[in-house]
């Protein structure tokens, strides 16, 4: 996907700009922006792969109901990207059952 600017400037000014890490890669985010929105703005649409058929899933309902945007955020799996605000330096991983441990420690 080409990198057409998806952040709309009209009508609002954004707060502090910072970087977050998605699968180790840096992307931009702003204060008050959800991780889901920052990912959409960066053109990263696949947020997780399903357990059974390993199908990609992205942001869908955007209001916290569908659970499609579950990612591993700061080490905690099954965290909803559409409901979690980005914070400077936060670590986000595409959720894929084969690749993440439970995130649980003894």
Partner 1 sequence: MKESEFAIIGGGPGGIAAAIVAAKAGVKVTLLDENERPGGQIYRQFEKGYKVTDSKVLGRDYEKGLELLRQFSSLSDKIRYLNNATVWGIFKSRTLAFARKGTSSSLSFKNLLVATGAYDRPVPLPGWTLPGVFTAGGAQRLVKTERVLPGENILLAGTGPLQLVLAHQILNAGGKIEAILESGNISKNWLRILMGIWGNWDYLKEGWRYLRHIQKAGVPLLRNHIILEVHGDGQVEEAVIAKVDKSWRPKPDTERTVKVDTVCLGYGLVSSTELALLAECEHKYELCLGGYIPVRSESMETTVPGIYAVGDGAGVAGSKVAIEEGRIAGVSIARSLGYISDADASTRIRIFQKHLNKFNRLRRVLDEMSVPGQGLYELAKDDTVLCRCEEITLKEIKKALADGTIQAKDLKRMTRIGMGACEGRMCGPALIEIMRYQPNASPEGPGYLLPRPSIKPIALGVIAASKQEE
Partner 2 sequence: MFPGEAEVVVIGGGVIGSSTAYFLARAGKKVVLVEKGYKGGEASGANAAFVWSITRKPGIDIRLAMHSINIHRQLQKELDRDFEYVYNGGLLVIEDEEQLPFVEAHVKARAEDGYPLEMIDAKQVFELEPLLSEEKIIGAVFSPIDGTTNPIFLVISLNLQAQKLGAKIFHHTEAREIEVMSGKIKGVITDKGTIKTNTVVNAAGCWGCFIGEMVGLKVPITPFQLAMLVTEQLPPCVSHPIMGASYMVEEDTGKEGGLGCGLIISQQAAGNLLIGASWRDAGYDKRINQEEIELMARVNVEAMPSLKDVRVIRSYANFFPHTDDDLPILGKVDGVEGFIMACGHNGHGIGLGPGSGKLIQELICEGITSIPLDELSLSRFN
Site residues, partner 1 (CB under 8 A): 1-2, 4, 6-16, 30-34, 37, 40-41, 45-47, 50-53, 55-68, 70, 78, 82, 85
Q: Other C-beta atoms within 10 Å of 79: how many?
A: 19
Q: Does 97 bind partner 2 (CB under 8 A)?
A: yes
Q: Tell me the window of 8-16, 22-30, 32-40, 95-103 that interacts with partner 2 (CB under 8 A).
A: 95-103
Q: Which residue bears the tokens 């947020």?
A: 47
Query: In 3D, which of 25, 95, 104 has the Cα closest to residue 56?
Result: 95
Q: Tell me the window of 9-17, 56-64, 71-79, 86-94 that interacts with partner 2 (CB under 8 A).
A: 71-79
Report how far residue 52's alpha carbon sits from residue 54's, in angstroms, rounded to the nearest whole number: 6
Q: Among partner 2, partner 1, none, what does residue 97 contact (CB within 5–8 Å per kind)?
A: partner 2
Q: Among partner 1, partner 2, none, what does residue 102 contact (CB within 5–8 Å per kind)?
A: partner 2
Q: Among partner 2, partner 1, none, what does residue 33 contact (CB within 5–8 Å per kind)?
A: partner 1
17-51 in b/e burial notation, b at 16+ Cβ within 10 A?
ebebebeeeebebbeebbbbbbbbbbebeebbbee
């Amino acid at each position: 996907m080409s990198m057409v600017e998806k952040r709309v400037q009209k009508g609002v000014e954004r707060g502090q700009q910072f970087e977050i890490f998605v699968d180790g890669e840096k992307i931009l985010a702003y204060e008050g922006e959800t991780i889901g929105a920052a990912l959409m703005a960066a053109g990263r649409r696949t947020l997780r792969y399903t357990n059974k058929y390993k199908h990609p899933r992205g942001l869908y309902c955007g209001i916290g109901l569908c659970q499609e945007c579950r990612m591993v955020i700061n080490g905690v799996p099954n965290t909803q990207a559409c409901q979690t605000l980005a914070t400077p330096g936060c670590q986000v991983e595409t959720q894929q059952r084969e690749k993440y441990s439970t995130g649980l420690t003894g």
